Amino acid sequence: MIPPIASQFVAGETAPGALEHARETNERGVGVILNLLGEHYHERGPADEDAQTYCDLLDDIATTDLRACISVKPSQLGLDMGEDVFRENLARVVERADEHGEFVWIDMEDHTTTDATLDAFEHHAREQGCVGVCIQANLRRTRADLERLADLPGKVRLVKGAYDPPADVAYREKSRVNEEYRDLLTYMFEAFDDGVAVGSHDPAMIALAEDLHEEHGTPYEVQMLMGVREDAQTELAADREVWQYAPYGTKWISYFYRRVLERKENLGFALRAVVSG
């Protein structure tokens, strides 16, 4: 049983509960990206099981009128056991999504997984097109990665980066990461014809995206986490496309504490949730 404070960040422990959350969120005009919690498997069984769960979830979404899609983590699908395991399980999921006309986001994990993740995304973007990938602004390599991805089908979500990579591969100062995010977002609106996914809760970055859209006409969507600035999600959805990233499943404890502790603003949201009951 998920306690009330955690239930503000996690969409239940089961697929039916997650789909019900998606339906309620859709009623506020917000689409939902569902992620089954789980990562860094070191045995094949759990990775295969989660891949099958995603396939089943895609089957379920396809029988509804929900604005919902899924997001998977490479280590959840077996990357820690080898790129071949990850690619095999990802192919199962993406092929099922393609059958139903559904969409799959591929999350980006720590910097050591970037090449394997982008290689897999590029393959499926060219083969099926129903995929998106997350890119982290704090990594020094990201501008070159975006130049590689600019002409591919599929979508790219730009986030600031929640992991803690070493200084030789990443910008560490918050102000420098913000500067890089602004520069990369500007480049994406100039170079990405198929649209931009703005993964940010920062009002300044969302306002910048609106200005860039007015200047370039590039379509875009805003993506935020479940439980963070939900009133703003609803307000923004009145005149632009907004999606909420909503995790679910029994492995919610580590996710919840990581989200609360990784950024000061999330800790504030959680504390206010405790106070308000």
The count of other CB atoms within 10 Å of the CB of residue 146 is 19
Active-site choice (80, 98, 107, 145): 107
- What is the rounded CA–CA span in Å between residue 99 and residue 172? 42
Angle at 141 between CA 138 and CA 145, to 5 degrees: 110
User: DSSP state, 3?
Assistant: -
3-state secondary structure of 247: strand
Whether 157 is catalytic is: yes
- What is the rounded CA–CA span in Å between residue 196 and residue 194? 7
Tokens found for residue 218: 């590039």
- Helices 252-262 and 264-276 pack at an angle, to 10 degrees, of 110
Nearest CA to 227 among 21, 1, 19, 13?
21
Tokens found for residue 64: 């509804």
Active-site choice (87, 96, 157, 259): 157
Helix H or strand E segment including 84: helix 83-100
Q: Please identify every residue annotated as catalytic.
A: 107, 157
